[in-house]
Structure 1
Amino acid sequence: MIYFDNSATTKPYKEVLDSFVKVSSDYFGNPSSLHSMGGQAEKLLSQAREQVASLLKVKANEIYFTSGGTESNNIAIKGAAFLNQHKGRHLITSSIEHASVREAMEYLEQEGYEITILPVDKNGIVSALDVEKSIRKDTILISIMQVNNEIGTVQPIEEIGKILKNFPSILFHVDAVQAVGKIPVSLYENRVDLCSISAHKFHGLKGTGALFIRDGLRLTPLFSGGNQERKMRSGTENVAGAVAMAKALRMTMEKSGVGIAEMKIIQNLLRRGLTDMEGIQIHTPERYTAPHILNFSLIGIKSEVFIHALEQKGIFVSTTSACSSKKKSPSKTLLSMGVPENLADSAIRISLSFDNTEEEAKAVLIAIEKIANQLRKVMK
């Protein structure tokens, strides 16, 4: 098997699974309980919070555990909008955000908020100047992802952060789900107020994530309940998941130096190989791109057909983001870049992890060319 769909989810590290089982078996107490078993669980939760914060170079009290990127994005966007509606009801985002950001914005629009959706250029990059031009007196939140989950473009978070230093009342939310472990995530330096991460994108477990909320900032909680996570996210904490996420993040960061360099080599190998083939158009630009994603179209071949044909060879890739792949509609990201609908319908996303090899990439290139040729003969 060759697994090239790591942006959808990654395989958990064995050590991560072991830590989850250990905590679930031996420290299963509720961290809100007053007895010693509850105290042990609470201590492990605190240690996990401190580890995640240390790895992200922030304070422990700025890390709130959630169920993943979607929940973190919703808490950040809706929580900021609800709390600050007396200051204004204008929000800014981009046309290539993840569905959990896009649909949260659409929900707020139905509630009377005004949303400015910024376009991207042909490379899928938002203009920091467009962000600045869109700011109004009633702007309360800007939400821009750091790495696009479909084409891998890195957005100008640093430039936007510099602009927002002149607008201290505007909150800055960054969806860093595809960034952690692949490119630097500098929250303080980039003037980020809110940041979402998800453990299963860096070899942790599904159903675990975190939201960074800058110290001193308040949001309106979306859940009512037992006041866990300092009233920001009520519900009994997933202690084993949090411990496992902290371990996954530490292991990913430790591997990232060598791992990122190797992913870049593999990404370039794939790019060169695809460029040499007929009937292929690459959408991921060469510059301003994360090292783990490569998006391309096979002209005249539906992506679903091609994905299933590759699967027969034991190769796993994807179309759009995993959250949108079953909707049978062209990628909104590619359409926003100006890619024609017929090409967007033929798009394939390869996404790498530190575990992938050059040998796998070479085998995938051979399979892509062979299957594409076979399908085109059948279609004729």
Structure 2
Amino acid sequence: MNTYYFDHCASSPMPQMVIDTMSELMKLHYANPSSLHQSGVDAMKLVDRARAGVADKMGAKPSEVLFTSGGTESNNLAIKGLLGRTARSAKHIIVSSIEHASVYECAKQLEVEGAVELTVLPVDSSGQVDPRDIVAAIRKETAIVSVMHVNNETGTIQPVEEIGRLLRDYPHIRFHVDGVQAIGKLPFRWEGSGVDLYTGSAHKFGGPKGIGFLLVREGIELAPLLSGGHQERGMRSGTLNVPAIVAMSQALRLTMEKLEMRRATMYGLRRRLLDIVSDIPELHVNGVSELNSAAEARTAPHVVNLSYPGMRPEVVIHMLEREGVYVSTQSACSSKSLKPSRVLLALGHDAGRASGSIRISFGDEHTIKDIEVLGAKLKSVVAGLKSLERIGK
């Protein structure tokens, strides 16, 4: 039986070229890049070259690229690291209600500990925050605004460039953006964006797991989360993972080279899937559902979130799995939770709809034919679920 992997938001496969590069480096460049001998120096040269490569593709300076273990660490380091360098005793953070858990739970933890006052902003029915709400929430004590670029459940794009422009009038505030789901899917240039910190994670764009980066605007210092050997300008201690860093830089180059073609292809896949779903009344689209260019400007091309209200999502997922189709529910890190999706509740959906959602996310390997297969499988699964419902009654 053929299998179809539609869970790229959770993790994407590594191109063979990236696998080969990482494997070769693990064999040849095993020295610690902090070592003073020639083998260590050679390893650090590879790190420096990879740092320059990441900087080039993101529109940053090499000195603004900080290597981390991935998105969760980068998000935590951005928020906690900034607060650790904020001299004011009164500290206030603004986040949106649809942030990834590594931002949302980080902010909530700091609030519970009494370290900050927290404002959580609402979103509209498509999942987009209003930049005017951010400005209205700003106080003299506000230290950080954190708004993600692309929502990891619905694919809704946040107006980060507009927010960045507005925040230029508040130089005491740092603007952090979780860009994990945007890199390689949407055009973005760090330079001139108004963003102070930007998070990336390699395994979302064809790199290895366990490596990521945080872009940190020149002049900003972060208090480290980890005490140690003062690597990464003293902001992120720990031995640098040379093979993973180089592989991430290569994966970023490859994904950026195909960005425009990928966007066009994936928007086509998304339109076809929404067209098919429109014939399945039991399934509801969460997020942006309209099929026009204005709507597509508000959503990433690679994500479709669907609900079967009242149906447990793991039932749908396992029925699709038996058909050779792999999808997920909520974000991967929350997929085993039985709670309604916090993101879908924030969009105004009831608990039944927020508890019964699945996320479909595309990759470079997918074609219209794959979407046709997916659509047929969805119709088959829904028919089976309706039969179960009738038996249950």
TM bucket (normalised to shorter chain) is over 0.9
Preserved contact between residue 125 and residue 287 of structure 2 (Cα < 8 Å): no
Write out per-residue CA displacement over residues 200-225 of structure 1, whole angstroms, 9 at most, x where no aligned residue: 00010100100000011111111110
Give the drift of 1:230: 1.1
- Give the letter aligned to residue 209 of structure 1: G
Q: Which residue of 2 aligns with 1:30?
A: 32
Q: Which moved more, 1:52-61 or 1:181-190?
A: 181-190
Q: Which residue of 2 aligns with 1:176?
A: 179
Q: Which residue of 2 aligns with 1:118?
A: 121
In 2: Cα distance, 1:225 partner to 1:378 partner: 57
Write out per-residue CA displacement over residues 32-63 of structure 1, whole angstroms, 9 at most, x where no aligned residue: 11111101100000000000000001100000
Structure 1: give runs of 5+ residues left out of the alignment: none
Structure 2: give runs of 5+ residues left out of the alignment: none
Give the drift of 1:108: 1.2
Q: Which residue of 2 aligns with 1:71?
A: 73
Secondary structure in structure 1 of the residue aligned to 2:110: helix
Give the drift of 1:345: 1.4
In 1: Cα distance, 2:51 partner to 2:309 partner: 47
Secondary structure in structure 2 of the residue aligned to 1:326: coil
Preserved contact between residue 88 and residue 141 of structure 2 (Cα < 8 Å): no
Q: After TM superposition, which residue ranges in structure 1, 4 or more long, deviate above 3 angstroms? A: none
**Residue 142 (str. 1) matches residue 145 (str. 2):** yes
Please point out which of 326, 337, 340 is paired with 1:327. Answer: 337
Give the drift of 1:190: 2.0
% identity of equivalent residues: 45
How many equivalent pairs are there?
A: 380
Please point out which of 83, 104, 107 is paired with 1:105. Answer: 107
Q: Which moved more, 1:107-116 or 1:37-46?
A: 107-116
Q: Which residue of 1 aligns with 2:22?
A: 20
Q: Which residue of 1 aligns with 2:6?
A: 4
Q: Which residue of 1 aligns with 2:44?
A: 42
Secondary structure in structure 2 of the residue aligned to 1:102: helix
- Give the letter aligned to residue 27 of structure 1: H
In 2: Cα distance, 1:122 partner to 1:42 partner: 48
Write out per-residue CA displacement over residues 274-309 of structure 1, whole angstroms, 9 at most, x where no aligned residue: 012121111121320000000111234221101000
In 2: Cα distance, 1:125 partner to 1:111 partner: 29
In 2: Cα distance, 1:219 partner to 1:101 partner: 16
**Residue 291 (str. 1) matches residue 301 (str. 2):** yes
Give the drift of 1:85: 4.4
Q: Which residue of 2 aligns with 1:192?
A: 195
In 1: Cα distance, 2:27 partner to 2:330 partner: 38
Preserved contact between residue 267 and residue 301 of structure 2 (Cα < 8 Å): yes
Please point out which of 316, 341, 355 is paired with 1:345. Answer: 355
Preserved contact between residue 8 and residue 321 of structure 1 (Cα < 8 Å): yes
Give the drift of 1:87: 6.1
Q: Which residue of 2 aligns with 1:160?
A: 163
Please point out which of 131, 134, 156 is paired with 2:134. Answer: 131
What is the RMSD computed on CA atoms of the aligned residues?
1.0
- Give the letter aligned to residue 271 of structure 1: L
